[in-house]
Amino acid sequence: MTISLARTAPLHSAATFGALAYSTFLLLPLWLPQTSYADEKSNTPQTRNRVTKPELTLKDSSVTLYAAGDIADCRKTPPEQSMAARTADLVDAALTQDKNANALTLGDNTYPIGKPEEFRECYDKTWGKFKTRTLPSPGNHDYGVPMAAGYYNYFDELAGTERRGYYQKKLGNWLILSLNSNIKAQAMQAQLQWLKNTLKEYQGKCVLAFWHHPVVSSGAHGNQSVMQDAWTILADAKADLILSSHDHHYERFTALNAQGLPDPKNGIPSFVVGTGGANLTPLFLIKNGSAFRQNEQHGVLKLQLHTSTYQWEFVSSTHKVLDRGQANCH
């Protein structure tokens, strides 16, 4: 506040002097420091020398993931000219700029049958650039050789323990679950029990699971029931995201419950991201809950995972964002 003092005539009377004194009395509070009751209370001998600790705020430990499946196919094109190289360049540039970012593979890492030389001569020269920062999952083409030997030999411990193909990873405030949709019978039951136990033990808020075969898809392969029980377990646990591929297109579904019906409260949003590099395939009967889909451009799904929210973008190999949005964890 700026107070202007106007020039006044000389004071010749007591009345004038008294008026000026009264005015000064009224203005005095404007010039003196203001002290509240709380200030007076905190200025006691007991509190005068107390060291005040700074107020702590929770840091948003955000992480970013780049996901796609159906990736490296070099049967007709050299690795450096393949579409897998195009999507790999996109991910590699992003990971170089962000030390907290990771890549996810959604299965069918190589074609046609996942031989060791396919991983060595095709995958490693494309998506292998950021192998150490990759969370993989296997697909049916990776199991084209006995016991998916090429896949497990290449990724080793990154693919989980004991070559069972499923594992967990905690990133920021999120539990990340890589599951194996290629196993059956007793092996599948062991995975489902592991999934139940892992979800029960987790004390955090947000959960993302990924595997190869989609429970719901509008692509050529369509809905795959092999992971229906896993979906039910995840829905009961209020999981927040499911990613898969197998069909070679990109598709986003609204939250669906275990019965495949739209359910914003109890359902799980899901994405089909089979756009990592292999030839794209047609869309057929559009499934319930399909909110966005495209099969014209390769690309990757970018996920920014925050403390209790997430954002998504589908970024094409030409660096165009074709789909984006955000949502809260349950």
174-212 pLDDT, tens digit per residue, is 999 999 999 999 999 999 999 999 999 999 989 999 999
Least confident of 16-30, 75-89, 139-153, 281-295: 16-30
Assign residue 80 a region (left: φ > 0; alpha: ψ between -120 and 50; beta: otherwise).
Answer: alpha
Assign residue 310 a region (left: φ > 0; alpha: ψ between -120 and 50; beta: otherwise).
Answer: beta
Tell me the Cα Rg of the chain: 30
Contact assessment for residue 285 and residue 303, using Cβ atoms and an 8 Å cutoff:
no
pLDDT band at 298 (very low <50, low <70, confident <90, very high): very high
All residues at 6 or more sequence positions from 153 whose CB lies less than 8 Å from its CB, including other chains: 116, 119
Q: What is the DSSP string of 66-114?
A: EEE-S-B--SSS-GGGSHHHHHHHHHHHHHHH-TTEEEEE-S--BSSS-
State the pLDDT at residue 27.
36
Distance, CA of 265 to chain centre: 20
Does the bond joining 112 to the residue before it have cis omega, within 30 degrees of 0? Answer: yes
Q: Which two tokens stand for residue 101?
A: 């970012």
- As a whole number of angstroms, the distance between CA 91 and CA 84 comes to 11
Task: Flag whether pLDDT at 31 surpasses 50.
Answer: no
State the pLDDT at residue 60.
62
- Alpha helix segments (H runs only) across 102-246: 116-118, 149-155, 185-201, 228-236
State the pLDDT at residue 61.
82
Instruction: Please write down the HEC assignment for all residues of 43-60.
Output: CCCCCCCCCCCCCCCCCC
State the pLDDT at residue 104.
98
Q: Which two tokens stand for residue 271?
A: 């994405």
Provide the mean pLDDT of the chain. Answer: 86
The DSSP call for residue 260 is S
- As a whole number of angstroms, the distance between CA 99 and CA 160 comes to 22
The residue among 138, 192, 130, 127 whose CA lies nearest residue 160 is 138
State the pLDDT at residue 103.
98
Return the SS3 of 221: coil
Assign residue 12 a region (left: φ > 0; alpha: ψ between -120 and 50; beta: otherwise).
Answer: alpha
Percent of all residues in the chain with a pLDDT value above 70, rounded to a whole number: 82
- Residue pLDDT, tens place only, 37-91: 333 333 444 433 433 333 333 456 899 999 999 999 999 999 999 999 999 999 9
Mean pLDDT of the 143-162 span: 97
Q: Where are the domains of the chain?
A: 63-328
No. of helices (H) and no. of strands (E), the chain: 7, 13
- Residue pLDDT, tens place only, 227-262: 999 999 999 999 999 999 999 999 999 999 999 999
- Residue pLDDT, tens place only, 270-288: 999 999 999 999 999 999 9
What CATH class has 63-328? alpha beta
All residues at 6 or more sequence positions from 257 whose CB lies less than 8 Å from its CB, including other chains: 235, 263, 266, 267, 268
State the pLDDT at residue 59.
56
